[in-house]
Structure 1
Amino acid sequence: MTTIHDVAQAAGVSISTVSYALSGKRSIAASTRQRVTDAVERLGYRPHAGARMLAGARTNILALSAPIRPDNHQPTQMRFVTAVVEAARRRDYDVLLLATDDEVSGIRRVASSSLVDGVVAIGVATVDERVDLVRELDLPAGFIGIPQGVDDLACIDLDFAAAAAESVDRLADAGHRTIGVIGHPASYGERDTGFIRRFDDAFAGRADSRGVETLTVAADLGRASAVRAFDDLRERLPGMTALVLHCSEPTAEAVLQRVRRLGLEIPRDLSVLAACASYPADEFEPALDTIPLPIDEMCSRAVGAAFERIDGHLDTGVELIAPTYLAKGSVSGPARAS
């Protein structure tokens, strides 16, 4: 079967240029577009989904590319898996889980053997090998995350930059001028996990514009690391009156326990906000102001985007979900520095 890679070679252009020419997502020179069109007609190319529909060969199986890494918080990972499965089942599709540390080989294997009609990708890095792979394979896909160079693909995520800015604004508006952040494991940033960069960059930028001093300390999974991170913040940011928890549920729980053991009261001594929380922070003691991570909505939209591609629709692009702020009483004005 002719692939988009074959068309790109015949037209003497990149795979992404072929995709742009077919989808109309970017302006392409008329001569280039004509070369692509000629190659498509000469090779008899049809997009992956259309070819399947004409052949009546849908598998009714969707792949979920969910790389397993040692620093993943597995309960959160499973929430994504469950949400994707539920969204797919609503369309009478089953899900094939590709849980490996080699995202590329898993997708290539199931696509080359025509086991699946499309793929949803999670655990997305800023530079993600799966982007070029789904283009090469012409495989319908929905990304949960925003990698680079995806104008012609479907990508859905929380607007982490807006969530970071709102976190700063809520605390700054309450009068806080020194804000600490407990972040995800440092390894997330080392492999350039997309949402980490977007949150951290936006948080630092908004804090600077609001005249707020801030410091982020990464916490590995485990209670001891969470305690060390909080104690490090108190030592390096002695005027800290507010704390943002941009971390996993166990880390947040360990930090709150440390706060209580130190005799600090929330929000009297320390305002605390859970940002992009994959867990119900209103069930903590005390309940925390929260910007939730809308996992169900993200997964539902990503699955829907994959199905749009499966059905032959090429209307794609980045879709950001606006953050929602849930006030629970854990943020107030700074009575005194902690």
Structure 2
Amino acid sequence: MRKRGHQQYAGARLAAGQRTNVLALVVPLRAGPHDVVVREFVAAAISAAGARDHALLLLTAEEGPAALRRAVSSSVADGVVVMDVEAADPRVPALLGLGRPAVLIGLPDRPHGLGCLDLDFAAAGALCLGHLAGLGHEHVALIGSPPAAYRRGSSSATRLALGFTAEAARRGVRSTTLAWGNTHRRSLRGLDALFARHPGVTGLVVHNETALPAVLACLHHRGLRVPGDVSLVAVGPDSLTAHSLLELTCVAIPAREIGALAVETVIGQLDDGTAPGTRLLAPKLAARASSAPPRLP
């Protein structure tokens, strides 16, 4: 874990009689029933808050800065945890104006002293590429988050892609980045286009947990064996990848750890009035059955 910065958070410390013991948790409304990361994060945050005699007020990201201001100005929430942070997140100015503790799950371009907590996605992208390059793969493709994530400037999606391409350049490995939706049809079309244009691709990194089952099914449909023909590394919750029919090599997103730590961080700010700066958790790769050296021609 890395930590940068540690400064006094003016006005953040509240006297015991002023506190409601309620924290606002901003979650993405677009998260579907298969978004395991969001579910695990919320479950861990609720558990951590309950263990500290706090309750969570759930707000949706689509409600915007106005909902944050209402929750705090009405003295409902002592502090805020915000998920799904964008590179140029419009909620940052609103959070700065609240005068209450706030932790961002993600890393905006300009956090302006707000607490930020996340997996180091740039390092995760580099770690995935490095694993496959170390096995001997010379052309690796990244199947990233859905296109909408890049359009809205999703912090995690952008940072992972940058880390992936930078490590490929450093190692002299060819890299291709793609993004498509989560359906079987889109995955089939995407893989058809990938292998038609780049038949030398022997390694895939998938940073799209909801598309992962479709990608695996479409590889099977094309007659490609994993890892015999194509090695695959997933970036997602370990609970999803470790228990599939084929145990997948994975860089786990520690959603439960981050969820609990985010709550503890906000409560810590309330208790001692200090801001935590930026904390990026170092990624860990578990090598399993889906990655192997490329098959000889």
Q: TM-score, normalised by structure 1?
A: 0.81
Larger Rg: 1
1:107 to 68, 78, 84: 68
Contact 1:167 1:273 in 2 (8 A): yes
- Structure with bigger helix share is 1
* 1:160–1:276 Cα contact (<8 Å) kept: no
Q: Per the alignment, do residues 275 and 242 of structure 1 end up closer, same or farther by CA in structure 2, a change over 3 Å counting? A: same
Identify the match of residue 50 of structure 2 among 66, 81, 89.
89
Q: Residue 126 of structure 1 contacts residue 192 of structure 1 at CA under 8 Å; is this kept in 2?
A: yes
- Counterpart amino acid of residue 200 in structure 2: G
Higher RCO (Cα < 8 Å, 6 or more apart): 2
CA contact (8 A) 2:101 2:270 kept: yes
Out of 189, 196, 202, the position equivalent to 1:228 is 189
1:321 is matched with 281
User: Which amino acid is 1:268 matched to?
Assistant: G
76, 82, 86: which is aligned to 2:37? 76
More strand by share: 2
The aligned residue for residue 146 of structure 1 is 107
Matched ranges for 1:115-154 at <5 A = 115-150=76-111, 152-154=113-115
Q: What letter corresponds to residue 58 of structure 2 in structure 1? A: L
Residue 221 of structure 1 deviates from its aligned partner by 2.4
- SS of the residue corresponding to residue 18 of structure 2 reads coil
How many residues align? The count is 293
Structure-to-structure mapping, 1:4-83, within 5 angstroms:
23=7, 47-50=11-14, 52-53=15-16, 56-69=17-30, 74-83=35-44
Q: In the alignment, residue 91 of structure 1 is paired with which amino acid?
A: R
Asked if 1:269 corresponds to 2:253, the answer is no
Q: Distance in 2 between matches of 1:334 and 1:224?
A: 27
Gaps of 5+ in 2: none
What is the alpha-carbon distance in structure 2 between the residues aligned to residue 281 and residue 214 of structure 1? 23
User: How much identity, in percent, do the aligned residues show?
Assistant: 33
Decide whether the 8 Å contact of 1:67 with 1:103 is kept in 2: no
Give the whole-Å Cα distance in 1 for the aligned partners of 2:43 and 2:32.
20
In structure 1, runs of 5+ residues without a counterpart are 1-19, 26-45
Residue of structure 2 equivalent to 1:175: 136
Q: Deviations over 1:256-301 (max 9, x none)?
A: 1111122222111111111244652122222110100000111111
Provide the residue aligned with 1:258 in structure 2: 218
Contact 1:154–1:302 at 8 Å: present in 2 too? no
The residue type paired with residue 78 of structure 1 is R
Structure 1 stretch displaced more, 125-134 or 63-72: 63-72
